[in-house]
Amino acid sequence: MIRVTGYVVVTLVVGVAQAQQSAPAKTRASRVSHHAKLDAAHPAASLEACLSSLRTANMQSSQPTLATFNVRWFPDGKPGRKALKDGRKTNVEWLACLIAHTGAHAVALQEIKTLPRAQAAMQRVLERLNQHTGGRWEVEYDNCPGGANLHVAIIWDAKRAKRRGTSRTLAAFNPHRDPCKHQLRPGLLVPLRFSDGTNIQFISVHFKSGVKRRSYDLRRQSYDVLAEVVRDVRGHLVVAGDFNTMGCTKCSPGIEAVTERRTLRDIAKISGMRLIEPSPGCSYVYRGKPSLLDGFLVERSLFRRRKPAVHSAGHCDAVGCGEGRVDQLPVVREVSDHCPLVLRL
């Protein structure tokens, strides 16, 4: 049972410890002949463009802002204890710049390793964020073992979002109800209070990816935990992250991604929450085909005083979720195949 008070933000992040790519790769979408092109001044076009535009960006809003970002096996770009040697390791400078551009006060991160070199790389990200935002960024990881495994993490600017208590690893979001069993992710909770007085329990989780029946069923078990959390939590609940709503093409009959997305929306509604779709409407592009794996669920009573809105940032914003060989872009090779999603409360 999870009992907390105040506004609650749950970031649900879904994935598979062994997967090198999210499930849209497994749907074998047809290739797109044309290549996506970005405005040279867009932050996702190059590190230089990102740093240049950051100099004129206004990131000092007091409006509570959260983001979620799957960073693809940070910082190595691949599974295992070794890093890629072909230039696809995470560009920590660019990553920090893109996060700064979101204006987020706290960010849920997914696909994070906790090897010593990974934690050192994360510290470099935080140092760059301090320089870009004038903040004091901190990080918390789940407490599961295995530094080369996938972990969830939360980073936050302690000047704009102060931790209000002890962080916790939550077993409930692992489908096996054991926080680290079978390398599936638990939830990570960091209680935060924003400068406008908003209290948030920020929870990051990572659900199972895959288009087979077993993967789909494991995701459904994690979805169904939402009702338990809402029932046991006092206050406003926001669920955010990479839900991996990719459908089940290997099921009989098959389940389309849009149908699974609708299922999540219905479960959220029964639980007293609302799924807010981002604009543009994608968070991942594979072989030129945009898809929506990430999102935010907001407890409905929060709408009485606010109008929460979600925006797709990074290369998803740059191409407007249009088709094109986005996977050829430098930002995809050097940072992540996912885009950050940003929620403004």
Residue 2 inside a domain? The answer is no
Place of tokens 């979600």: 310
pLDDT of residue 25: 40
Least confident of 4-13, 163-172, 193-202: 4-13
pLDDT of residue 189: 87
Taking alpha carbons only, the member of 299, 261, 344, 311 closest to residue 10 is 299
Three-state DSSP state, 297: strand
pLDDT of residue 272: 86
Q: Please determine, for residue 195, whether its predicted confidence score (pLDDT) is greater than 60.
A: yes
Mean pLDDT of 117-123: 96
pLDDT tens-place string over residues 286-317: 777 889 999 888 888 778 778 889 999 999 99
Percent over 70 (pLDDT), the chain? 87
Six-digit token string for 203: 């929870």
DSSP state, residue 26:
G
Mean pLDDT of 182-194: 90
pLDDT tens-place string over residues 82-109: 776 655 689 999 999 999 999 999 999 9
Sign of dihedral through CA atoms 279, 91, 153, 248?
positive
pLDDT of residue 106: 95
Residues 6+ apart with CB under 8 A from 199: 5, 6, 7, 164, 191, 192, 193, 235
SS3 content of the chain, % helix, strand, coil (to 5): 30, 25, 45
Residue 147 inside a domain? The answer is yes
Mean pLDDT of 14-38: 46
Taking alpha carbons only, the member of 194, 180, 175 closest to residue 238 is 194
Taking alpha carbons only, the member of 270, 279, 263, 260 closest to residue 230 is 270
Structural domain count of the chain: 1
Lateral strand order in the sheet of 137-141: 137-141, 151-157, 106-112, 65-74, 341-344, 309-312
CATH code, domain with 225? 3.60.10.10
pLDDT tens-place string over residues 317-332: 988 888 777 878 899 9
Query: Which strand (E) or helix (H) includes residue 222?
Result: helix 213-232
pLDDT of residue 87: 59
* 266, 230 contact by CB (below 8 A): no
CA distances from 115 to 77, 122, 170 (A): 13, 11, 21
pLDDT of residue 84: 66
Residue 14 inside a domain? The answer is yes
Residue 172 inside a domain? The answer is yes
The single-letter code of the amino acid at 294 is D
pLDDT of residue 213: 97
210-246 b/e with 16+ CB inside 10 Å = b? Answer: bbeeebbebbbbbbebbeebbeebeebbbbbbbbbbb
- Model confidence at 285, pLDDT cuts 50, 70, 90, reads confident
pLDDT of residue 336: 94
Six-digit token string for 329: 């872009």
pLDDT of residue 252: 96
Summary mean pLDDT of the chain: 85
Cα dihedral 276→281→285→287 (10° resolution):
140
pLDDT tens-place string over residues 121-151: 999 999 999 999 999 999 999 999 999 999 9
pLDDT of residue 226: 85
Mean pLDDT of 197-210: 88
* 21, 209 contact by CB (below 8 A): no
pLDDT of residue 21: 41
pLDDT of residue 265: 94
Q: Please determine, for residue 244, whether its predicted confidence score (pLDDT) is greater than 60.
A: yes
Peptide bond into 75 cis (omega under 30): yes
Mean pLDDT of 28-45: 68
Residue 1 inside a domain? The answer is no
Mean pLDDT of 257-279: 92
Q: Which domain holds residue 218?
A: 7-344
Give the span between the Cα atoms of 79 and 148, in whole angstroms. 7
- Model confidence at 235, pLDDT cuts 50, 70, 90, reads low
Q: Please determine, for residue 3, whether its predicted confidence score (pLDDT) is greater than 70.
A: no
What is the CB-side half-sphere exposure of residue 159 using CA atoms within 13 A?
A: 11
Return the ∠ at Cα 112 (arms to 63 and 4), rounded to 5°: 50
Residue 88 inside a domain? The answer is yes
Q: Please determine, for residue 205, whether its predicted confidence score (pLDDT) is greater than 70.
A: yes
